[in-house]
Structure 1
Amino acid sequence: MSDDNTTAPAPQPTSEENRHASWLELFFDLVAVAGVAQIAHLLHGVPDVSDLGLYALLFLAFWTAWICFTLYANVAYENTHVRTVLAAMFGMAVMAAAVPGVHEGDDRHARVFALAYVLIRLLASRAWQHRRQVLVDWPAAQMSLGVIPWIVSLWTHDPMRYWLWALGIALDLYVTFAVSARDIVEHQEARKRHDKQSARRDSGRGTSLARSQTEHLSERLGLFVIIVLGEGVVQVVEATSDAEWDKKLYMLAVAAFFLLAMLWALSFGHGYAGVPHLAAGVLPARAALPLHCFVSGCLAALAAALGAAAEHLETLPDATRWLLCSSLAGYFLLSGLAWLGRAGRERRWLLSVALPCCALPLLPAVFGAQVRTVTVVWLLVLITLWPILYERWAAKSSKSPVGTGT
């Protein structure tokens, strides 16, 4: 990886399969640790609807900034500009540091957050222009349409500022799903033909299409999910360290650990790139990347709710209970969407696993006002364990000489 005379040492891969995240990429992912932690703190206490909306908005912005440079390093690899990635890393750190101020309604912190996001996106666009490539998997990574509302927001106040940020995220999603990468290439080539000076500077080199390297990208996406699950452990550790250690706390801590362990098993033992029940190569990256974002967002919200649960050992406040249960329900809903793209899917799995796992977590949310906190968490553990047991049973049945019964 290089930036002018700056080179980051990295071994040359002999094939895509043996390529792993570089030290620079792992250093960059450390910012995700800080960002996820800061954003998850928005759901501490008893969050209301505005807290949830702000959480979703800031998480989407932070993930978008992260994925732009994750994809850039994925494609460029040894030609990645180190100083460009470090500049983006600093910008994301600024975004993370500004999150508490944004939550408190501080105009200065909100402007700093927006400005850092704008600069990161423009930096990503410049990096792709320098490579003269258009990323097929995520065209929004090099387009600035979604950045325009963020720029306008620098001169606005709450709540208009947040609506503009949401518009910017929506435009990025629109570009990703509605704009063809070939259309972007044709537009850029047409503009170059009308700019003779640019044509001479480019020495006749045109714009090409680029695709992400699947195995390396899945590793980076999985690392992000691991970071989010780790944040769940941190939340529980922080909450339990300040509480009085008694039997209730012990049982809750064990339940929270089992829940996170089951989610880890589903995301990686029964999933791909951290997305449960997603199979490699089944969905195009344009569909798989949003799934990864939303799964990570659900897990981060669940992590915050687990931390709050350790502070309410008797019964959970309504808002916290709904956050905990609906986050898990959302996780399973996304799992079902990932499963729909798989070949050979069974209707029995949909009826026996997907639908119950989406609906059952909502029962404690609706009827659990008087249920003890530890009981609610253990119920969620049992719900999460069911898909794992079903998969093992299905695997054994498929190997049985008697038949699978599917």
Structure 2
Amino acid sequence: MASTPSSAPRALLRPMVARGRDESHRAASPLELFFDLCFVVAVAQAGMSLVHAVAENHAGQGVLNYAMVFFAIYWAWVNFSWFSSAYDNDDALFRVVTLVQMAGVLVLAAGVSEAFDHHFFVLWLGYLIMRLAMVTQWLRAATGCTGDERGMALRYATGIALCQVGWLSLLLLPEEGRPWAFLVMVIAELCVPAVAEHRHSTTWHPHHISERYGLFTIIVLGESISAATVAVKSAVDEHNELGRLIPISIGGLLIVFAGWWIYFVVPVQGRLRSNRQAFLWGYGHYLILGSAAAIGSGIEICVEHTVGKTHISQLAANASVTVPTAVYLVIVWWLLARYYKAGTAQQLVLPVTTLLVLACTFAGEWAVLAAGLVLTATITVGVTLAARPPSRRRGGQAVG
């Protein structure tokens, strides 16, 4: 059951004060779940645009555009989620401002395909709506506190506002300068939390924030399944190629299922004890979430290649699945799994799997199925190693 700041009848307005980091039974609220669902639209649009770019043999530019757009999606979600973990009071004003942010997400989603064609105005407008709402939340938090905490809230509001002005560079600079401007702005955005919290830290909740990231990961993996399913159905309806699509369908499903298993087998919240640990973990999820969404796009590309709708080689189509899968595996191992491994054998499972998945790129039309079977074997090996008697291992948590 989702928690609320108080069991008393809900007031129209409550003071926005920091919630306790040790608060018991803290879980995602219905509003947060609703907020997350709006991002499904944006993630789906980014994945669809990546499919079109790669299928037309513009993989380099497509991946670059995808990386830029997905960061915009991810960072907007991050801004709200960490603030909400510390200051969600669930009153009427908090809800209304959050709904405004959700409207901004939908505007952003509407501008994703245009951003892949280097037209950023709609994307920037959606971001403007979200960031103005976020600044409003931080200014409201500042009115309810004093001292270092008030300074932190004001630095957040100022930093976010200045960064939003900086994003105007995507509209004003010539096309060749935009990737560099984007890189500068990414660095600026990532510095805002560090600067804002150098004297006082927000009281984000470890269990709550790990649950929020987990739920978003589920949404992204679900979107991968949805995109792949639609692609297979369309191919069968238009080209009647079910026999050739079965290996891709089975392999893709195994990859996504294994991705869920590997991510959720470890108790992450136990490691989130400081801002340094939490920020590194949170920032690293950009690669986890981005690669997870790209897996679905890769499966869709393989489907389209099988029915002759792409202008790329079989090897390139296979790489569109195996490369993001390998990125997902190595980042999950680096950020999560390696801390719960016991012994060399367990530590090597995911790194070795990553290499085997990349090797599957050269398996022709069977590449996706081969990668899926490799990941299935990985789960089996991981469970087997974790199930050994304690006398034969030093302890640790089961990880695929």
Return the TM-score normalized by structure 1.
0.78
2:376 aligns to what? 385
Q: How much has 1:151 moved relative to structure 2?
A: 2.6
Supply the AA of the counterpart residue of 1:143. G
Q: 2:227 aligns with which of 202, 211, 235?
A: 235
Supply the AA of the counterpart residue of 1:50. Q
Do the aligned partners of 2:325 and 2:357 also contact (CA within 8 Å) in 1? yes
Q: Distance in 2 between matches of 1:360 and 1:125?
A: 46
Do the aligned partners of 1:121 and 1:141 also contact (CA within 8 Å) in 2? no
Supply the AA of the counterpart residue of 2:105. M
Q: Which runs of no fewer than 5 residues in structure 2 stay unpaired?
A: 143-148, 396-400
Do the aligned partners of 2:266 and 2:340 also contact (CA within 8 Å) in 1? no
2:173 aligns to what? 156
Supply the AA of the counterpart residue of 1:97. A
For the residue of structure 2 that corresponds to 1:28, the secondary structure is helix
Q: How much has 1:58 moved relative to structure 2?
A: 0.7
1:67-97 alpha-carbon deviations (Å, 9 max, x no partner)? 1111222222224611111111111110001
Whichever structure has more helix as a proportion of its residues is 2
Supply the AA of the counterpart residue of 1:221. Y
2:217 aligns to what? 225
1:330 aligns to what? 327
**Does 54-63 or 354-363 show the bigger shift?**
354-363
2:87 aligns to what? 76
Q: Distance in 2 between matches of 1:104 and 1:134?
A: 42
CA change 1:260–1:341 in 2 (3 A) is: closer
Q: Distance in 1 between matches of 2:157 and 2:356?
A: 38
Q: 1:312 aligns with which of 292, 295, 305?
A: 305
1:165 aligns to what? 182
1:29 aligns to what? 36
Q: Say whether residues 1:291 and 2:291 are aligned partners.
A: no
Q: How much has 1:362 moved relative to structure 2?
A: 2.0
Supply the AA of the counterpart residue of 1:309. C
Q: Which runs of no fewer than 5 residues in structure 1 stay unpaired?
A: 186-208
Do the aligned partners of 2:98 and 2:133 also contact (CA within 8 Å) in 1? no
For the residue of structure 1 that corresponds to 2:175, the secondary structure is coil
CA change 1:4–1:285 in 2 (3 A) is: same
CA change 1:269–1:343 in 2 (3 A) is: closer
Q: Distance in 2 between matches of 1:364 and 1:152?
A: 41
2:198 aligns to what? 182
1:346-405 alpha-carbon deviations (Å, 9 max, x no partner)? 33333x31321222222233x34xx11xx1112111222243223212222134x5x338
For the residue of structure 2 that corresponds to 1:78, the secondary structure is coil
Q: Distance in 2 between matches of 1:5 and 1:160?
A: 47
CA change 1:100–1:303 in 2 (3 A) is: same
Supply the AA of the counterpart residue of 2:222. G
Q: Say whether residues 1:356 and 2:352 are aligned partners.
A: yes
Q: How much has 1:286 moved relative to structure 2?
A: 0.6
Q: How much has 1:127 moved relative to structure 2?
A: 1.4
Q: How much has 1:41 moved relative to structure 2?
A: 1.0
Q: How much has 1:43 moved relative to structure 2?
A: 1.5
Q: How much has 1:153 moved relative to structure 2?
A: 3.0
CA change 1:390–1:163 in 2 (3 A) is: same
For the residue of structure 2 that corresponds to 1:210, the secondary structure is coil
Matches within 5 A, 1:230-269: 230-243=222-235, 244-269=240-265
For the residue of structure 2 that corresponds to 1:211, the secondary structure is coil
CA change 1:391–1:280 in 2 (3 A) is: farther
CA change 1:119–1:167 in 2 (3 A) is: farther
Q: 2:110 aligns with which of 93, 97, 102?
A: 97
